[in-house]
Structure 1
């Protein structure tokens, strides 16, 4: 007897496409806008990180080169000639150039304007403080953006998740035959927005903390150099010392009494 024909096995149900890009494609205007905002935040963050890392490396290299020439110079005139020849390319040379110019200007013309009022040392002090404030502002450029991204990106991602879960639940409620599979997929896709927000925020926070610490260390060195330079200018010390004594002053960096001991 002929065997009964076996019915072919039913084809497996197609696996629905579940993923982040599927979530973005299915989201509405608000969801796509939040996604674009997070991408722009990430691009701005990494741009600032790369630019500031490159500029900081270059600035520290030029600063080290200038400090080496400064502490090995025989006089402030030689330092001034070096700055005139190569320009003030870093905060240390910028500070030295303005301080020496302020002293020479006040010695020659005196207090001709209100901003020049006071003694020579007062005018030099105000000039150096102004330069340090300018350099501080330059070093902090872009840090506000990093701080803003680090603090707001997680909430942007969380809002995207809430919005996506809301629309997913609305869609599930309007459909028939609600199962765990129909709930888990859309909700899981929406949760990816929270992960994207964290992925944007974490590099921004780490970069911000790193740059703030590096700036604090760098500005403390600049402030110590300002004290030494102020002592040279106000005491009339022209660094007319032997090379060994100049290096000794550098080891005692930040101690104004060392300048007077070197001049005895």
Structure 2
């Protein structure tokens, strides 16, 4: 006699936990979507401008400052600043200058790439797991609803369709959370990879510039 209320309470609590998990996943993914859209849109405009400003500068000393002005605190400016620092040979004698240049530019490029791709793992995780979280809520809700219906003396279609239909909403909610995350992951990833290609080309040009020497400021 006392097991039915306890079972109903447990089912409600689990369904609420699933709904709360889907809500948290949705909020996190939309935060990343808005943040990364603004970041990549800004970088898509500033990175080419910074690269063009670097090569248009009248001297190598002014090139780094021109890049920073065009792309303040951006990945292209970070590469230009690292190039300026590498113009003065440093380090131990066993470290060749060419190796130091390649290592420092690679580190700066990796840091910029990590910034461009930040949050993509979360979008991929939400897109791949949210449907299963919603499906789990549906399966548990149907199981809980059938257990409650079996305890009734009279069973009608209205008593079955209502509880079962409510649990199917969890599957729809899981898809509603996953689809925007997957679409954003693909779109933002494509834009980030395009910026990666521009930065890799810029880093390669900087490496050739430092390896070839040339006139200074």
Please report the RMSD computed on the Cα atoms of aligned residues, expressed in angstroms: 2.3
Contact kept in structure 2, 1:161 and 1:190, CA below 8 Å: yes
What is the CA distance between 1:99 and its match in structure 2?
A: 2.0
Please state how far the C-alpha of 1:118 moved relative to its aligned partner: 2.5
Matching residue of 2:119: 142
| Equivalent position to 1:205, from 182, 189, 194 | 182
Cross-structure match for 1:182: 159
Which of 128, 132, 143 matches 1:151? 128
- How far the C-alpha of 1:64 sits from its partner, in A, is 2.6
CA distance in 2, matches of 1:227, 1:75: 19
Bigger CA drift: 224-233 or 72-81?
72-81
Matched, 1:111 2:95: no
Alignment pair present for 1:49 and 2:26: no
Give every structure 1 segment of 4 or more consecutive aligned residues whose post-TM-superposition deviation is greater than 4 Å: 83-88
CA distance change for structure 1 residues 233 and 182 in 2, over 3 Å: closer, same or farther? same
Secondary structure of the residue that 2:73 maps to in structure 1? coil
Structure 2 residue ranges without an equivalent (≥5)? 1-8
Give the length in aligned residue pairs.
209
**Residue pair 2:40, 2:192 contacting (<8 A) in 1 also:** no
1:65 positional shift: 2.4
1:166 aligns with 2:150: no
Deviations 1:90-117 (A, max 9, x none): 111111111220222x1xxx433xxx84
Hey, what does 1:214 align to over in structure 2?
191
Q: Which has the higher contact order (CA 8 A, sep 6+)?
A: 2
1:238 offset after TM fit, Å?
4.0
Q: Residue 121 of structure 1 contacts residue 234 of structure 1 at CA under 8 Å; is this kept in 2?
A: yes
TM-score, structure 1 length as denominator? 0.73
Query: Which has the larger share of helix?
Result: 2
